[in-house]
Structure formats: structure tokens, C-alpha cells
Structure 1
Amino acid sequence: MAWHLGRLAPFDLESTSANPQEARIVEAYVGYVGGGLEPIDREPLLIDPGVEVPAEATKIHGFTTEHLREHGTPADAGVWIVANAVADAVNEGVPLVGQNISYDLTVLSRELARYELPSLAEMTARSGSRLLAIDTYVISKFLDRWRRRVSPEQGAHQLKTTAAVFGVAWVDEEAHGARYDALIAARVAWRMGQIAHMPCEARPRIQSGRRDERYLFDALAVDLPTLFASQQRWAREQAASYQEYLRSPKAGEKQDVNAVISGDWPIQAPPTP
């Protein structure tokens, strides 16, 4: 069975920071869709991160420190609930699906360590199942490397943009909630897989206009372990390219000759002490 027709586990977090090494979870969603089975659509879990939520983070997801203190699950218990939901998917052999899923899995990994809880690897060791993930961000950049930003505020490969490219409906008022973003990413991934499994001549063109773009989808018409390994390679290449850009004069005001961009995927290693 083609991977996009199998069971998928949409996964997303909202947090306190764009830096996954220091971010705290404030909202989480793990569900199940596809595979010819009924979806499992859980309510997103609110978590009190135990720290102040910066205003810039609240501006994105809407959760204030006060709201989370009143309505959120205590951080250690909430992190454990999220980790168990993710581990259940891994133990069942269901791939996790998300936009920039390396961020979410890294945040979860650091949170587990922060509260001295077992790691995902420890939680899934007995089943012998391998963590598999489908990252719409990494795949989008592979398929359409030179896509331009929509505007100064909207990036070339952020979820809203990629959803539009692949014909997935987007509602601004519902965006940036863990449930909404996870399910949109799953729909984008499904569409990517659907195109990949079409005959080459039947594949629609996406925005890049590259003459070989239809053939790039061949790299997605593979089994999940192969797709996982490919995403690891693409993520390393994308990180190296971005690091080179940041170190060069082309970056302008963003230039940082010492910039280091991690190519780890799907979980970034902890920072060196």
C-alpha cells in the first residue's frame, strides 16, 4: 500500500519559543487519520509550561500565561501525556506527520529530559518499532527549492504557503492551533503522496516551474523507511545550504560568519555544554 493511503498520526505543538532547545509546550495534538479507518480526533491538550509565556509567542498561538495557569495541565504531567501519545503511534508502526516535525520532536525530547522522564527511544524500545516521520516542510523544500516568499511576512515553505501550493484549504482564523496545523500538514502530506503515485505525465505542476519538477515526486513514491532516510538526507543538505547562506555576504543584515544550523532530523541533538 502506498504510504499516503495508510494510517497517519498528525502531530503538532505550540510552545513558548522558536528555539526547540529551550521551548516549553503550551498545547499539543496527536491524532490518527486515514488507512481506511475512522479518524481519532482528540481534543488538543493545554499545558501550563511553568514559566512566563513571552508576548511574541502569545501573539502566534493566543495562549497567555494566565490562561494556561488556570486551564493547563501541569507541565510534567502534560509532557508525559503527550509523549505517551507519540510513543503509542510509534509502537503501532504509524508514521508521525507534521510541518517542520523536527522542531516538535526536539521540543518534546528536551521536555522529557527536563522532567527526568524516559526518552521516546526508551518508551518504544520494547516494541522494536522504529520512529517514522513525514515532514511536509522538508519535503516541500526538496520539491520546490527555489519557491519565493509570498510576502515579507509569509515564507516560501511555511504551512500556509505549502497548503496553497498543494490545493489544501486554509482558514487564517483557525491557524496556529496544534490541532489545525497538524491536520493541515496531514492533508498536505496526503496530497504530496497522491501526486507521487500518479503516472509522471499526469502529475500537476507546482509553482517552481522547474522542468524536472514532476520527476522529483519519484523520490516520494517509495516505502516509508526509504522516505524517512531520504528526509534525513534532505534535511542535512537544506541545513548546510542555509548555514552557507547565513555565513555569506548574501545574507545582508542576517549575516553571521559563525552561524551553525543543525542538520539533525527528526530530533536535534542537545546543545553541547
Structure 2
Amino acid sequence: MTTSWSEGPLLGFDTETTGVDVDSDRIVTAALVRRDATSTSITTWLIDPGVPIPAEAAAIHGITTEHAREHGRPPRDALEEIAVELAEAFRTGVPVVAYNASFDLRLLDAELRRHRLPTLPDRLYQAARPVIDPLVLDRAEDRFRRGKRKLVDLCGFYRVIESGSLHSADVDVVATLDVLERILGRFPHLAELDLDTLHEYQVSAHRAWAEGFNAWRAEQGLDGPGAELVWPTREPAGTLW
């Protein structure tokens, strides 16, 4: 009997940040959660981002500028440790699981460039893959379901009980892995795909969703750039330092 990738190991990844601009904002906390059939291990980082943490961001994840400055790691050291762990996972074929993966992976690569460290593609000599994004999978497999699709919404829909307050990176990663497990239970054909096929499926699924979303925005007369067509990563915009 063939063993599915869904049985692990999987490496979950999440960040909490100073804001939502992947090119200019900074990582404040990060978590990596490695899960296999028998165990779950969690590694977390608190980082001094080197810039003030806006009050609205601190209100979400609970980390103030003062707390980060007093207790946070230097960003260059922490970012290197995170990148080493992620690159090793990709290099050995362990899928990285992230909710709205485009945000976290793009922000991480921007941060690595800012601190003149090799990005994930630099370390791997190719694009970072395989990535698994429960948000992309849920949109693709249940396209016509109404309602929001933030992590908290999917936790509610898939009846995942969080182990703590969401918007804490480690709690978010565990919830993301639990949501992925429930998605695979509802759509078991996903677990039967090999990882390369699954990654490409998400690339296509995200583009289809983004094109539809952007067409809707145009119909509504909404301004702004809309959703990016490329998943999960792209080159950063402009200079990062």
C-alpha cells in the first residue's frame, strides 16, 4: 500500500508582522511546527523588527515595540535560522504548509534580501516547493460556498478547536495543519496526488480564483491592484533596504 504525503512529515509555517505589505513590513514572530504520524514539535521566534510596531498590528498579535526591543532576537540571526529550517524541509521533500502562503513566503524572502541573506530560492537553486496552502485548496474544492475564508472562518467551518488564541504564530500553524487534515478528510483525492502535482494544482487554482476576483472588482468599479495572479511567490517590488 502506498503511503500518502498526508501522513507526514509536514512543516507548518506562520508569521505575525508589523503590517500586510510583503515588500516593506517586518516579521515580529514566527513559528515552525513539524508534524508526523506520531508527534508534533513547535519552534518559535520573537524578533525585534528594528522598526516601530504599529498599534493596530500590536492589537492583533499582542507584541508591542517595547516588548520586541526588550525580548526579541536580532532579525538577521532569527531570519537565518528560519530560512535554514525551511530550506532543509524543501530540500528533503517535506511539504511546507502555510495558510495564505503567498504572504508569509514573500515576506520572508523580502526580509532575507533586506538583511542581505540568501532567499529560499537562492538556497535551493530553484523555487521553494512543494507548498500546501489550505486557503487555496478550500477555495478550489468548495468554490461556491458563501462566507469569509480567513483562518478563523475555516476553523469554524471544519470544526477545528484552536489550542489558544489565533494570531499567535504557533497557534495559527497548529490550526492550519488541523484545517488541512479536515480538508483532506472531505476531499480525499487531494491526498492521492503526488506533491508536485498538488503544487501545480494550487498554482492553477489560485490563478483562476485571482482572475475571477479581479474581474469582479472591475465590475464593481473598485480601485487598487487586486489579487496577484502568481502563487506562492514572486520577485519583490523595488529596493528592500
Alpha-carbon distance in structure 1 between the residues aligned to 2:75 and 2:128:
27
Runs of 4+ in structure 1 deviating by more than 6 angstroms, as ranges, are none
SS class of match (1:261):
coil
CA deviations on 1:4-39 (whole Å, 9 max, x unpaired) are: 1121101100001112122200000112102x3432
Indicate if the aligned counterparts of 1:246 and 1:259 stay in contact, CA closer than 8 A: no
* 1:88-237 matched pairs, under 5 angstroms: 88-125=88-125, 131-149=129-147, 156-170=148-162, 174-197=165-188, 218=189, 221-237=192-208
Who is 1:51 aligned against? 51
Who is 1:245 aligned against? 216
Alpha-carbon distance in structure 2 between the residues aligned to 1:193 and 1:12:
20
Amino acid paired to 1:134: I
Who is 1:86 aligned against? 86
Who is 2:35 aligned against? 33
CA RMSD of aligned residues (A): 2.0
Quote the offset at 1:122 in angstroms: 2.2
With structure 2 as the length reference, what TM-score do the two structures score? 0.91
Structure 2 alignment gaps of length 5 or more: none
Seen in structure 2, the aligned counterparts of structure 1 residues 242 and 272 have a Cα distance that, compared at 3 Å, is farther
CA deviations on 1:146-174 (whole Å, 9 max, x unpaired) are: 3333xxxxxx1111111222221136x52
How many residue pairs were aligned? 237
Return the match for 1:24 from 26, 41, 45.
26
SS class of match (1:157):
coil
Quote the offset at 1:139 in angstroms: 0.9
Alpha-carbon distance in structure 1 between the residues aligned to 2:200 and 2:121:
18
Seen in structure 2, the aligned counterparts of structure 1 residues 117 and 129 have a Cα distance that, compared at 3 Å, is closer
Task: Provide the identity percentage.
Answer: 32
Alpha-carbon distance in structure 2 between the residues aligned to 1:119 and 1:45:
18
SS class of match (1:194):
helix
Alpha-carbon distance in structure 1 between the residues aligned to 2:218 and 2:191:
31
CA deviations on 1:70-92 (whole Å, 9 max, x unpaired) are: 01001111211111121121122
With structure 1 as the length reference, what TM-score do the two structures score? 0.81
Alpha-carbon distance in structure 1 between the residues aligned to 2:216 and 2:174:
32
